[in-house]
Amino acid sequence: MVFRGPTRGERRALAGVTLRSLTAVWLLLGAVACGRSELDGDDISDSGAGGKAGGMSGRAGGNSGSGGLGSSGTSGNPGSSGTGATPGSSGTGATPGSSGTSGNPGSSGTSGNGSSGENCTNGIDDDRDGNIDCADSDCVVGYSCAPPVPGGGWVGPLSIWSGSGSPPACTNDRGFPTEVTNAGTGASVSPSSCYSCECGAPQGVSCQVGTAALFSNGTCSGLGRNLDIVQGSCIAFVSLTLDPAGVSWDSALATGGACIPKSSGSPFFPPVQWDTRMRACGDPSPNGRGCGAGTCVPRQKDPFAAQLCVYQRGNLACPAGPYSSNRRVYFTGVQDTRTCSDCECTAPSATMCTGTMRLYTDQNCSVDETILSNVSECSALAPDPTPPPPPYVTLRSAIYTGAAEATGFCSPRPSTPSGSVAASDPITLCCTNP
């Protein structure tokens, strides 16, 4: 058998067939690749497109016979995770291509505060629905728009608690972490207590006058008369009605004097209590957007009120606008005029005088001395050495020396509270409707 090579025309025909076969193979492989790409698109979100592109690149490398690796998938946009790419298939051709390598999956997107991925505080439309922060329906539950704070010294927006008892803390968990001001209404106090008082012994008691009772007989009975004798001087006296035969010390009155008050302890003024207390928390952070001129802030949580407020010192009218709906005045201080009176003592009581009372038969306190040493003591008097006939004109003298006894007492007048407390330093709170 004789073999011959193909003629020139046969070689051209064979080349054309081969070229058309290769072209058909390339078209078929391209169609398959496109069909797979569409299927992958149904299984992943748009944010995983980077992974899908990597898989397609790998397949193209395998089909081309070059053996190239599939490129890595790029990070997905925030949202659901990207899906990893499919490895490239084996290359077909003169030199078999190595298998394509799987593309890296797209990285996970960052979750937002909203239920569908919207972060309600960063000022970005995270879920790409055209609405930012408070304008996004995802943020309705946890956030609200705070109207712009008016100028002129108003401070806010504030989250407010009011009631009795201890106020709750301002915390990050409640969205308003800074304690801005505390105030109250209805200042009241419990009764005050003052000094304990007592009195010392009477001092400065005076014994200026002693009284003698003169009688017509030596037993201090019968006809009598009283004679007041000033202390310290010899007193001459004349008796016209009788010739005294007996004398008694009738009384020695103590007068004047005082007791020194003594106080102990310290006054106690109970702290002021407010019938209603108020605490304002501020600095909501971070502040989001989506509220026009206002700010997107966390919604207030129990026990704080559902309204937003601004405040300023003084008793003022609320500014026009959304914060004018609810005006309240609280107070941050008190004027406290409470005090206690000083301890005092009454005048001395039951004081007594001691000493001596001396009587004489002459007018110079020198002849026939009779001495009385105690009140109510009775003694006979020496007779008048030169008695005149009736009617009697008896000339005699007396002297009294008195001293106060360490007796008697004073009653203490208690220290009593006075004054009051009154609310001061007002602040005005202006709030939105709940």
- pLDDT per residue of the chain (434 residues) written in tens, 0 to 9: 333 444 444 444 444 434 454 444 333 334 333 333 332 333 333 333 333 333 333 333 333 333 333 333 333 343 333 333 334 333 333 333 344 333 343 333 333 344 458 888 888 898 899 999 999 999 989 999 999 999 999 999 999 999 998 999 999 989 999 999 999 999 989 999 999 999 999 999 999 999 999 998 999 988 888 999 999 999 998 877 778 899 999 988 899 999 999 999 999 999 999 999 999 999 997 777 899 888 899 998 899 999 999 999 999 999 999 999 899 999 999 999 999 999 999 999 999 898 999 999 999 999 999 999 998 999 999 887 776 666 667 788 999 999 888 889 999 999 999 999 999 999 999 999 87
C-beta atoms surrounding 27 within 10 Å = 10
Q: What is the pLDDT of residue 238?
A: 83
Tokens linked to 17: 């067939």
Tally of CA atoms within 13 A in the half-sphere of 212 that contains its CB: 30
223-226, long-range: CB < 8 A, 24+ apart: 226/250
Per-position DSSP letters for 217-271, written without gaps between them: STTS-SSEEEEEEEBTS-EEEEESS----EEEEEEE--B--B--EEEES--B-PP
Do 131 and 125 meet the contact criterion of CB atoms below 8 Å apart? yes
Going from N- to C-terminal start, the domains of the chain cover 128-434
Q: What is the pLDDT of residue 7?
A: 46
Phi, psi for 190 (deg, rounded to 5): -80, 165
Length of the chain counted residue by residue: 434
Tokens linked to 307: 């309204």
Tally of CA atoms within 13 A in the half-sphere of 120 that contains its CB: 25
Query: Hunting for tokens 């405040």 — which residue is that?
Result: 311
Q: ∠ at Cα 119 (145, 158), nearest 5°?
A: 30
Is the pTM here over 0.95, yes or no? Answer: no
Query: 431 exposed, middle or buried (CB, 10 Å; 0-12, 13-18, 19+)?
Result: buried
Q: What is the pLDDT of residue 95?
A: 39
For residue 164, CA distances in Å to 282, 330, 425 come to 21, 14, 20
Q: Of 85, 45, 83, which is closest to residue 61 (Cα–Cα)? A: 85
Q: What is the pLDDT of residue 392?
A: 64
Run of H or E residues at 58: helix 49-63
Query: 211 exposed, middle or buried (CB, 10 Å; 0-12, 13-18, 19+)?
Result: middle
